[in-house]
Amino acid sequence: MQYQDRIPPDGINTPGRHPLREFLRLSVMALLAIITLGFLLNSAGGTLGGLIPFKYELWLADRIDSASVDAGQESPFAQTITHPELQEYLQSVADRVASAMELEASMPITLHYSDDDLVNAYATIGGHVYFFRGLLSLLPHENALSMLMAHEFSHVSLRHTAKGIGGGLALAAGTSLLGMSQKNQLFGLATTLTSTRFSRNMETQADRSALAAVNRMYGHVAGASALFILFMQQRDEEEGQFDKFLSTHPLDEQRIQRIEDLALERQWLLEGETTPLPDKYSSWLR
Amino acid sequence: MSNLIIFAVLMVLGYGFGQYNEQRHYKSIKKREALLSTLPAVATKYPPGDERHRQTMVMGSVVVASDYFKSFVASLVNVFGGRVRSFEPLLDRGRREAMLRLKQEASEQGASMVFNIKYETSRIGGKVPTIEVLAYGTALTPLHSPSTHGEQLSQQV
Amino acid sequence: MSEKMIISNLEYYPGMKIEQHISLVQGSSVRSKHAGRDFMAGIKSIFGGELLGYTELLHESREEAVDRMVRQAQEVGANAVLNVRFSTSSIAAGAAEIFVYGSAVMLVEEV
């Protein structure tokens, strides 16, 4: 008997493909799969969320309110408009917008004001709509304010909050079931992309519905795009290109373009006289 | 955003250093394998019975870690299933290195061959997959042949 | 490929003589199942019993590992692999390695 030690040739146990090729192939597959899956989950959850009657949204808001009071914290719905004249003015515009939008009485809107520099406004569950001082102080005329309100109220009437929560929950449930939530960076990016697309659609819907309301109120849509021009200027100052790409809102240039397209399509007047804000408006915002 | 940058940096570093280390390791493995190929290591249990040998247990072990890039690729494979190619070189390197260390130990004792080779592989955790490979066997040193460690021999018998 | 190669976990081959011990040969394969299967197996593991998906996975993997070992044995000019041993280890979450090794030998008819 003889003993030898021949070395088998390389590559039988490591028929290595180039790792970069493998990586690219898998990344593309993963992104596609995740975007498809994310989109499906998000839409399914969103659709289900939109089916929940508004009264449950009110009930939920109520629960959050009382729960935070019980816990000794300030309720998120506690920030009301303290300045009486501002309150009166905003409420009157809100009432006109609501009636132009034919909002049902079962869908009450509550206005909130936040003394903050943030250039923003948002609608949350139960018809609670928040305006930040930063945004209100930049508005050039009442038409822009009406457009802003109509946009936020559209989120409420189109049930975007419920849809957003439904979609987000479905997405979170789906990804955690597959065991790949925040652990994997690529999945994080992909889910952000899908939910971003989803909410951009909702923004576009809200813009369209708001523009119709503004046209009904003033007989023209002049000044509606002023709101987005404002956002555009603000964003140019603050953000880089990449943040824009990931932003949940449509790009401002596109929004302005879409507004004009819609107005032309419906034959709404793009020109018209804008209604100024009350003289003391800026002093109320201090 | 900053997460993404950290991720990209880790990927590039993992790829660069991972590939470099792997190539360097393979180069050294091949060189040493050629040197130690005069020392057969076999999996069978029964050594030839015609000669007296001194028996000693020898072992070689190594802990190797995958790199960030390869682990990420492997985690992607985990979604779709299939061969995890990016771990193959890791295991291959571990096995061959452990075997080389075993043979090194055996050759230092003047052994002529190693019998009953067994491998143990265990995962020892860590964020990036890390494995330990242990190779062990019984080294046979012919009693009559001159050994590099003569003094050890006299103690043994 | 493997029909011609004798694979056994015995020390010797009855009726034949080991002419030469050629090399220690090995084969390995790392595999993971896709997330869907992982998920189903997760549900199944609540109730216990055989996880068919994983049985299949390890079976395929074992076949490939043996195949690779046999290829190594052919490359070094052996006609049998004796004293074959398997080992299975989990390398990372969801990825298992099957490793198989043995002595590649040249068997001849006993005279």
Where in the sequence is the domain holding C84, given as residue range(s)?
6-109
The three-point CA angle B65-C62-C105 to 5° equals 95
Check residue A107 and give its pLDDT.
Answer: 87
Residue C67 Cα, gap to closest chain B Cα (Å): 14
With CA atoms as reference, report the closest residue to A274 among A232, A219, A229: A219
Q: Is residue C46 part of a domain?
A: yes
Report the CATH number that the domain containing residue C31 is assigned in CATH: 3.30.110.70
- pLDDT band at A120, cuts 50/70/90? confident
Tens digits of residue pLDDT in A90-106: 999 999 999 998 888 88
Q: Is residue C16 part of a domain?
A: yes
Helix then strand then coil, % of chain A, to nearest 5: 65, 5, 30
Structure tokens at A281: 């408006």
Check residue A195 and give its pLDDT.
Answer: 66
Tally of domains in chain C: 1
The answer to whether the beta carbons of residues C21 and B42 sit under 8 Å apart is: yes
- B43, B92, B99 member nearest C85 (Cβ): B43
The answer to whether the beta carbons of residues C31 and B91 sit under 8 Å apart is: no
Asked if C20 is an interface residue toward chain A (Cβ–Cβ < 8 A), one would say: yes
Rounded to whole angstroms, what are the CA distances from A274 to A29, A146, A214, B56?
52, 11, 11, 98
Domain boundaries, chain B: 2-156
CATH homologous superfamily for B2-156? Hypothetical protein apc22750. Chain B (3.30.110.70)
CA atoms within 13 A on the CB side of A204: 16
More confident residue, A166 or A246: A166
- pLDDT band at A69, cuts 50/70/90? confident
Strand B113-123, strand C6-7: pairing: unpaired
Asked if A14 is an interface residue toward chain B (Cβ–Cβ < 8 A), one would say: yes
User: What percent of chain A has pLDDT above 90?
Assistant: 12
Interacting residues of C43 by C-beta distance below 8 A, sequence separation 6+: none
Check residue B156 and give its pLDDT.
Answer: 42
Check residue A181 and give its pLDDT.
Answer: 47
Regions of chain B where pLDDT drops below 50: 147-157
Q: Which of residues 230-249 of A touch B (CB under 8 A)?
A: 242-243
Check residue A188 and give its pLDDT.
Answer: 63
Strand A2-3, strand C16-34: pairing: parallel
Q: Across the interface, do C99 and B43 touch by the CB < 8 Å criterion?
A: no
The answer to whether the beta carbons of residues B121 and C97 sit under 8 Å apart is: yes
Please, which chains are in contact with C (at least 3 CB pairs closer than 8 A)? Answer: A, B
Size of interface A-B (CB pairs under 8 A): 65
Q: How far is C-alpha B22 from the chain's CA centre?
A: 13
Task: Give the number of other Cβ atoms within 10 Å of residue B14's Cβ.
Answer: 19
Phi, psi of C93 (to 5 degrees): -55, 120
Q: Across the interface, do A22 and B79 touch by the CB < 8 Å criterion?
A: no
Q: Is residue C93 part of a domain?
A: yes
Domain boundaries, chain A: 22-68+76-284
Classify the C-alpha dihedral C86-C90-C92-C93 as positive or negative: positive
Rounded to whole angstroms, what are the CA distances from A197 to A108, A151, A193, A236?
28, 18, 6, 21
Q: Across the interface, do C39 and A3 touch by the CB < 8 Å criterion?
A: no
Q: Is residue C1 part of a domain?
A: no
List of chain C residues whose C-beta atoms are within 8 Å of the C-beta of residue A1? 18-21
DSSP B54: E
Regions of chain C where pLDDT drops below 70: 1-3
Helical ranges in chain C per DSSP H: 35-47, 52-75
The answer to whether the beta carbons of residues B84 and C31 sit under 8 Å apart is: yes
List of chain A residues whose C-beta atoms are within 8 Å of the C-beta of residue C103? none
Check residue C3 and give its pLDDT.
Answer: 53
The answer to whether the beta carbons of residues C94 and C32 sit under 8 Å apart is: yes
With CA atoms as reference, report the closest residue to C59 among C31, C95, C82: C31
Q: Across the interface, do B76 and A30 touch by the CB < 8 Å criterion?
A: yes
Structure tokens at B101: 């260390």
Which of C32, C38, C90 to mutate: most B Cβ within 10 Å?
C32
Q: Across the interface, do C28 and B99 touch by the CB < 8 Å criterion?
A: no
Task: Give the number of other Cβ atoms within 10 Å of residue C20's Cβ.
Answer: 18
Its pTM surpasses 0.80: no
Q: Is residue C85 part of a domain?
A: yes
Rounded to whole angstroms, what are the CA distances from A243 to A194, A218, C36?
15, 35, 33
ipTM value of the model?
0.80
